[in-house]
Amino acid sequence: MDILSLADTLEILDLSHNRLDALPDELRQLHKLKILFASNNRFETLPEVLGECTNLEMVGFKANRISRVPENSLPPRLRWLILTDNRIETLPETLGERPRLQKLALAGNRLTDLPKSMAKLTNLELVRISANQLSECPEQLLDLPKLAWIAFSGNPFSRSDLRIESVPLMQSSSFTLQEVLGQGASGVISKAVWNEDQTHFPDEIAVKVFKGEVTSDGYPEDELHACLKAGEHPNLVKPLAQVDENGYLALIMNLIPPHYRNLGLPPCFQSCTRDNFPEGVSLSIEQIDKIVQQMVSVFNHLHDQQVCHGDLYAHNTLYDEDANIIFGDFGAASMYHMLTETQQEKIRQIERRALHHFIDDLLSICAEADQQKLKFMRLKQKATH
């Protein structure tokens, strides 16, 4: 194994998009290895050698054929585990013996329950369990003290017969897609124009065409339903119509003005669950206050509709120079009206933590000139609690 010559320096190893179904035992000799990606391969079992990699923190085996996760296959220092889109029915109780675990992606498997030991994962902050076969809401997750981002749609316990008809059905032949505006795990957003004059809709629109397969957050149809259930709010992307044809699912939306830009950048390896911001970007304390007030309003609106966004982050927020925001991306959203009152309150509490992290992240880029104001605000806030 030539790669062993890098044992004293190699920290990141990407083996994705191959035909691998096993890893050599010599992998344990890569004692500096922190991150291993092996997505889109042919693994049927999560390799046990991973559990012998003493410094391995991030493990990604998305889109394999994994049905078995041995109890000793999980690295002792595990922080971030991605097993999305596999065939896993059960997970070992040893998962709860990984106290550093912060981020866990399990969407698109065949899980019927979760290990009770997960109640001990006191550092877990983000979890994706959508698109599985969970028949009961996993109570062991709802009481975790740091959990802030959760997605659980597409399970038997969260299934809903609710039909949302807040926007009309349209034919895909009624519009023409133009340039691509952006794309994510669940679909592609394009600018579009109507093929015939419309009296009820704007001339220019945006259309999100869903890819149709399970994503890291769940099923596209669950995203669509949650977005429609959320309804209208001044700071949410406005849905106008939907397309539901054989093999073609799409959401027609208001076109966001071009002067809006992303508020943040997604988490990186180091930050794990927390957003980043472009180098040199700062906001005045007045801008932060205005943005926070709008996001609090969005939060209250969503939970009044019994929708958990699941991805409340600055990187899913657009803003303009006047600190007006537009919030979107419902890929991780889950409707929770079918849960008990106690469970519903716990879901709200989980997302409230995400809101607090959102505020803290914005305060981290407060302009230098406003730092004294910020210190005063924090002292005042501390004194009132």
pLDDT (tens digit per residue) in 169-212 = 999 999 999 999 988 778 899 999 999 988 889 988 999 999 87
**CATH number of the CATH domain containing 201:** 3.30.200.20
> Which of 241, 236, 235, 226 is closest to 192 using CA atoms?
241
Average pLDDT over residues 308-336: 96
Query: What's the mean pLDDT in 91-104?
Result: 98
Indicate whether 7 and 134 sit together in one domain. Answer: yes
Residue 97 has pLDDT above 60, yes or no: yes
Is 335:307 a contact under the CB 8 Å cutoff? yes
Residue 265: inside a domain, yes or no?
Answer: yes
Task: Give the rounded distance of the alpha carbon of 211 from its chain centre.
Answer: 17
- What contacts 177, CB < 8 A, 6 or more positions away? 190, 191, 192, 207, 209
Domain C-terminal end among 226, 254, 282: 254
State residue 75's pLDDT score: 98
338: confidence class by pLDDT, cuts 50, 70, 90: very high
User: What pLDDT does 376 receive?
Assistant: 66
| Residue 84: CB atoms within 10 Å | 25
Residues with Cβ within 8 Å of 328's Cβ and at least 6 positions away in sequence, in order, are: 236, 237, 316, 318
Asked if 107 and 186 sit in the same domain, the reply is: no
Within this chain, do residues 237 and 315 fall inside the same structural domain, yes or no?
Answer: no
Q: 243 and 283, same structural domain?
A: no
pTM attached to this predicted model: 0.93
Number of domains composing the chain: 3
Same-domain check for residues 265 and 250: no
DSSP string, 174-234: GEEEEEEEEE-SSEEEEEEEESS--SSS-SEEEEEEE--S--SS--HHHHHHHHHHH---T
Q: In sequence order, what are the residues at sequence separation of 6 or more whose Cβ sits closer than 8 angstroms to the Cβ of residue 30? A: 3, 4, 6, 7, 10, 13, 53
Of residues 214 and 274, the one with the higher pLDDT is 274
- Bridge partners, residue 35, by sequence: 12, 58
End-to-end CA distance of the chain: 59
pLDDT at 383 over 60: no
Domain assignment of residue 311, yes or no: yes
Question: Per-residue pLDDT averaged across 97-117, rounded?
Answer: 97
State the Cα–Cα distance between residues 225 and 242, nearest whole angstrom.
10
d(CA 97, CA 94): 5
Pairwise CA distance, residues 101 & 124, whole Å = 6
- Structural domain including 207 reads 172-254
Nearest alpha carbon to residue 177 among 207, 154, 153: 207
Are 83 and 106 in contact, with CB atoms under 8 Å apart? yes
| Domain containing residue 70: CATH number | 3.80.10.10
Q: Tell me, yes or no, whether 116 and 15 share the same domain.
A: yes
Q: Are residues 198 and 237 in the same domain?
A: yes
31, 140: one domain: yes
Reading the block at residue 55, the tokens are: 């410094």
3-class secondary-structure state, position 29: helix
pLDDT for the residue 377: 67
Length of the chain: 385
What are the tens digits of pLDDT across the range 54-86? 999 999 999 999 999 999 999 999 999 999 999
Average pLDDT in the 140-163 region?
A: 94
Shared domain for 141 and 218, answered yes or no, is no
Kindly indicate the confidence band of residue 380, based on its pLDDT and cuts at 50, 70 and 90: low
* Amino acid in the structure at residue 95: L
Kindly state the average pLDDT of the residues 267-288: 93
Domain-located, residue 152: no
Give the pLDDT confidence score for residue 5 in this predicted structure. 80
**Annotation-wise, does 208 bind a ligand?**
yes
Mean pLDDT over the full length of the chain: 93
The top-scoring range by mean pLDDT among 185-194, 198-207, 333-342, 375-384 is 333-342
Q: What pLDDT score does 166 carry?
A: 79
Same domain, 42 and 135: yes
pLDDT for 144: 98
